[in-house]
Structure 1
Amino acid sequence: MTNVPARRTWSRFPDLSDFFDSIGGLRPALGGNTIRVEDEITDDRYIVRAEMPGLDPETDIDVAVNDGRLEISAERTEKKTENGRSEFSYGSFRRSVTLPRGAKEDEIDASYAKGILTVSVGLGDTETPAKKIEVKKAD
């Protein structure tokens, strides 16, 4: 099993979000609309898991492939009422991950269980042999 780091495109400074997570308490002040992911390559599949608790996969989550990128987006609208008081929790979330070389965009499956979205992408030949280029004499 090989771990491949997810390429983050949601921020100009991708490690800044991880920094705020590590010191705690600052993410809500910044909006907190980041989808946390982990990815790996195993058994000729590229697997991406995304933390997305409390969502309905049929209505709240969208997964698409666009130009070699896996795009995950979601929107949450939740209302809790207790003792005549209500609270809203809502927001939209988006994350884009570059697919590895050899990814088969027509072999993608997605499932959602216990707050985790799992996307599995088939992989083909990931090694490209070197190609010799003939050098021609110019006039």
Structure 2
Amino acid sequence: MTLLKTRRRRRPWRSLMNSEFIDMDDFFEDSFWLQTKGSPALNIKETDDHFEIELAAPGFSKKDFEVTIDDQNLNITAKRSTEKEEKDDAYTRKEFSYDSFERSLVLPESVKQEKVTATYKNGILHFDLAKKESAQKHQHKVIEIQ
């Protein structure tokens, strides 16, 4: 009899319990921490008054993206295609490519959906999500007793 060491399978929902954002694409993947083909890298940063999301999508242009918010879901879809054709007397050469991806994030209830902005520059799609006033951390104030 031979004993084999096996790797314990990670359960994605355990790590999501403590996170305000839930990436539904990652939630249903077998390997939660591994980057899947066609799924761009994503960074999320929280400050006192807003969230910042950066999504790496080089090679696309602004017109290739469609970003929507449905209920509490931020949906990001990108599609692009290129086509190149060369004709000569003896031959015709035609090349084409098609790239696409979809990402979906469940937004925290603390996000003001009407204040979400997006910019695309140098291959990075950047989102700024303002927090509701009640969710913002307020400065610590000491009250003097008189």
TM-score, reference length from structure 1:
0.67
- What's the counterpart of residue 31 of structure 2? 16
* Residue of structure 2 equivalent to 1:116: 124
Q: Is the 8 A contact 1:8 1:14 kept in 2?
A: no
Specify the structure having the higher radius of gyration (Cα).
Answer: 2
Equivalent of 2:100, from 92, 99, 113?
92
Partners of 1:79 and 1:87 within 8 A in 2: yes
- 1:38 correspondence with 2:43: yes
Residue 80 of structure 1: CA displacement? Answer: 5.6
Gaps of 5+ in 2: 1-18, 87-91, 137-146
Give SS of 2:53's match. Answer: strand
What secondary structure is seen at the aligned counterpart in 2 of 1:54? coil
Q: When the two structures are superposed, what TM-score results if normalisation uses the length of structure 2?
A: 0.64
Other-structure match for 2:67: 63
What whole-Å deviation, never above 9, does each CA across 1:26-64 have from its counterpart, x for those lacking one? x5xxxx22132111112411111111111110x201111
* Deviations 1:49-96 (CA, angstroms, capped at 9, x unpaired): 111111110x201111111111111002124679x8654331321101
> Unmatched 5+ residue regions in structure 1?
22-26, 128-139
**CA root-mean-square deviation:** 2.7
